[in-house]
Amino acid sequence: MKGYFYITTPIYYVNAKPHLGHVYTTVIADVLARYHRLLGEKVFFLTGTDEHGDKISETARNLGTTPKDLADENSARFRDLWPELSVNNDRFIRTTEPDHVKTVQAILQDVYDKGDIYFGEYGGHYCVGCERFFTETEMVDGKCPIHDKELVYRQEQNYFFRMEKYRTWLIDHITKNPDFIRPERYKNEVLGMLREPLDDLCISRPKSRLSWGIELPFDRDYVCYVWFDALINYLTGIGYPNGDDFNGFWSSAQHLVGKDILKPHAVYWPTMLKSVGLEPYRHLNVHGFWNVDEAKMSKSLGNVIDPLDLKEKYGIDAFRYFLVREMVFGLDSNFSEEALIERYNADLANDLGNLVSRSTRMVSKYFGGVLAEPAGPLTDEENELRGLSLKVAREYEARMENLELHSAMASVWTLISSLNRYIDKTAPWALAKSDPDRLSVVMYHIMEGIRFVAEMIYPVMPDTSGRILGVLGMSGQYTAKNLTEFGKLKGGVAIGIPEALFPRAERLKKPEQPAGAQGKGKEKEQEETNLIDISDFAKCVLKVGKILEASAVEKSEKLVVLKIDVGKTIQIAAGIAKHYSPQELVGKYIAVVTNLKPAKLMGIQSEGMLLATDTPEGKLSLLTFDREPSVGARIR
Ligand code: ME8
């Protein structure tokens, strides 16, 4: 129904704790839910836990506990994690809840009465990890392609759902609705699965082997197969078959899943719905997998990422931003803490954090904290900025709608970069001295541009967005309408200075880096995003120097005065006294920048600069040569 948005995540198995993969899907669902609330739509966001079946029963047995206790413990872990990650779901469903059990039994009876469930015998290769049979063509070397484990052959008398009966209908539906399964690569994969006749779906397990499940209403000796039970959560969650929520939300249903559970969602589920007589969901949105440090995330490799650890280190908004920005929706991506730090420094601390902090400080300094009404004519620069803000907002909306969330963020960052460039170009610090009217125009446009940014980052970084809008005196007014007009911010508004939004990277703990080297690491990252032309580099004259004399400076712990032969003798005061004794230095061949403007350090004339780096122990190491060079030769 128009104006409604129903988004679901998979309901997660309770055999283990939540990890990065679960967090990704759930955060993306939250981003979409927040975005659609911003559009003024009625939103229902469902997540929860999948608690029945072999997998849970086996894990409980191995742990010496009961399936119920295991489910209670791990379900609570998921439920309690979401608020910590700013995930704001409308319901948390558990498949052991009475309303779900009732719905599953009602649907089983309905499908049975329609003649779509029959009793029969089947033998096949089963993966307990996936809780499903694999066909010969799906298996890889006799193993499950997802868990890379030997499959178990099972042959039993069971109940079967006539899935094959609906295959041609499903092909037709997918073909007529090309965005039913997206991105397209997964649609094609599903059409491939449907080329051959389907095995009917085994939907029961004999209680003699497995009792942890929902009893079949038409045969007490069997429980329901866990996938047939689990998929129905999407109906229970909104009150099927009764209730306004179901009527309003079902036709807008969008499922969000990882590529590992494509078949159950793209084949089992629509055919089940068809048999029940319900419309299929609107979209199945399929994302790729996170690998960690280039390897598959797994308990045995010990590389399972704990989301709360990342939240604690980098803050929840930065973590959410990274998840959204780093993964191209639909493709696999690699997670590494270094990549997170890199994005944190470049995009958040540098681009966004700096923009907000320098701008609000200028309002405070030049206008005493009250943004002046723009009191002068607009130039091309302002018109360009206005045009760009509106263009970026439209691009952002189209990309969010299309699930290109990573590029929606990239669009917002083009506006952030343009605002930083606008500041550099218009130089408010100079206008403050020469042209107060123009200053008022410029500062107004910067702050209004920041407002656009803050509104657009809301779904991904709700806290940061709220803090920025709060500083602009606009808290709690989220609506997409705010992005249709440049000029909403009112002159005369008091503008605060927020506490640092993203404290610099040196405060982040990066275990691989030894203490002392972190600050320099961060500088390097910044410099690498700040590309220069070769002609810029050529401006710097670097020469081979030989140290002729070295002497300590009285009253300074840091400085050493050096006489260096670079073709002529120059004097340099260098801050290396803690790392080298004067005696050690004499005779060394080093790299020297020789065309720096002379400076005085503690009254000592210095005519150049040495080059050095930090060692892992936190010492300095001078740049020298591995073969004897010619003194005064240019370094290229
Ligand atoms: O499959 N990268 O539950 P589950 C990205 N109970 N996402 C990942 C991931 C990774 N490395 N690992 C897991 C089940 N996920 C069933 C679902 S739904 C009716 C029943 C995410 O606990 C991704 O969303 O194994 C994947 O589809 C889901 O967790 C699987 O969770």
Instruction: For ligand 1, atom 15, name the residue with the nearest CA.
Output: 21
Best mutation site among 8, 13, 15, 22 for ligand 1 pocket (most ligand atoms within 8 Å of CB): 22
pLDDT of the residue at 522: 36
pLDDT in tens, 205-235: 999 999 999 999 999 999 999 999 999 999 9
Amino acid 35 reads Y
Instruction: For ligand 1, atom 29, name the residue with the nearest CA.
Output: 22
At 502, give phi and psi (nearest 5°): -135, 90
Residue whose entry in the numeric block shows the structure tokens 């010990």 = 302
pLDDT of the residue at 531: 60
Alpha-carbon distance values, 261 to 55, 426, 463 (Å): 15, 53, 32
Whole-number Å distance between alpha carbons of 454 and 315:
17
pLDDT of the residue at 604: 85
Residue whose entry in the numeric block shows the structure tokens 């150049």 = 608
Residue whose entry in the numeric block shows the structure tokens 């010492």 = 619
Q: Domains in the chain, ordered, with CATH?
A: 4-304 (3.40.50.620), 335-483 (1.10.730.10), 535-622 (2.40.50.140)
What DSSP line would sit under 15-79, residue for residue? TS---HHHHHHHHHHHHHHHHHHHTT-EEEEEEEEE--SHHHHHHHHHHTS-HHHHHHHHHHHHH
pLDDT in tens, 582-628: 888 989 999 999 988 787 777 788 888 888 887 756 678 898 888 88
Q: Determine whether 162 is exposed, middle or buried from the number of CB atoms within 10 Å of its CB (0-12, 13-18, 19+).
A: middle
Strand partners, 319: none
Instruction: For ligand 1, atom 31, name the residue with the nearest CA.
Output: 12
pLDDT of the residue at 533: 61
pLDDT of the residue at 526: 37
Q: What are the residue ranges of helices labelled H in 166-267?
A: 167-176, 184-193, 226-231, 233-236, 244-249, 262-263
CB 32 within 8 A of CB 459: yes
What DSSP line would sit under 346-387, residue for residue? IIIIIIIIHHHHHHHHHHHHHHTTBPPPP-S---HHHHHHHH
Nearest to 167 by CA among 138, 204, 193: 193
Answer yes or no: is the C-beta of 82 below 6 A from any ligand 1 atom. Answer: no
Whole-number Å distance between alpha carbons of 42 and 5:
6
First to last CA, the chain: 67
Determine the distance separating the centroid of ligand 1 and the alpha carbon of 22, expressed in angstroms: 6
pLDDT in tens, 93-140: 999 999 999 999 999 999 999 999 999 998 899 999 899 999 888 999
Quote the DSSP letter at residue 213: S
Strand partners, 7: 45, 254
Strand partners, 334: 291
Instruction: For ligand 1, atom 8, name the residue with the nearest CA.
Output: 21
Residue whose entry in the numeric block shows the structure tokens 């709608």 = 401
Low-confidence ranges of the chain (pLDDT < 70): 1, 299-300, 475-477, 504-536, 616-618
Answer yes or no: is the C-beta of 258 below 6 A from any ligand 1 atom. Answer: yes
Amino acid 24 reads Y
Best mutation site among 15, 56, 261, 323 for ligand 1 pocket (most ligand atoms within 8 Å of CB): 261
Whole-number Å distance between alpha carbons of 229 and 517:
54
Helix (H) or strand (E) holding 605: strand 604-606
pLDDT of the residue at 507: 43
pLDDT in tens, 492-539: 899 999 888 998 655 444 444 333 333 333 333 334 445 656 666 777
Q: Determine whether 278 is exposed, middle or buried from the number of CB atoms within 10 Å of its CB (0-12, 13-18, 19+).
A: middle
Give the three-state DSSP class for 397. Answer: helix
Give the three-state DSSP class for 184. Answer: helix
Determine the distance separating the centroid of ligand 1 and the alpha carbon of 56, expressed in angstroms: 15
Residue whose entry in the numeric block shows the structure tokens 């590309």 = 531
Instruction: For ligand 1, atom 16, name the residue with the nearest CA.
Output: 12
Determine the distance separating the centroid of ligand 1 and the alpha carbon of 261, expressed in angstroms: 7
Alpha-carbon distance values, 439 to 381, 383, 496 (Å): 13, 16, 18
pLDDT of the residue at 598: 80
Whole-number Å distance between alpha carbons of 54 and 56:
6
Whole-number Å distance between alpha carbons of 564 and 542:
13
Neighbouring CB atoms inside 10 A of 525's CB total 19
Residues 6+ apart with CB under 8 A from 453: 352, 355, 412, 415, 416, 419, 468
Answer yes or no: is the C-beta of 10 below 6 A from any ligand 1 atom. Answer: yes
pLDDT of the residue at 618: 65
pLDDT of the residue at 540: 81
Answer yes or no: is the C-beta of 164 below 6 A from any ligand 1 atom. Answer: no
Whole-number Å distance between alpha carbons of 209 and 220:
13
Amino acid 250 reads W
pLDDT of the residue at 579: 86
Whole-number Å distance between alpha carbons of 50 and 97:
11
Neighbouring CB atoms inside 10 A of 295's CB total 10
Residues comprising the chain, all counted: 636
Determine the distance separating the centroid of ligand 1 and the alpha carbon of 290, expressed in angstroms: 11
Q: Determine whether 556 is exposed, middle or buried from the number of CB atoms within 10 Å of its CB (0-12, 13-18, 19+).
A: middle
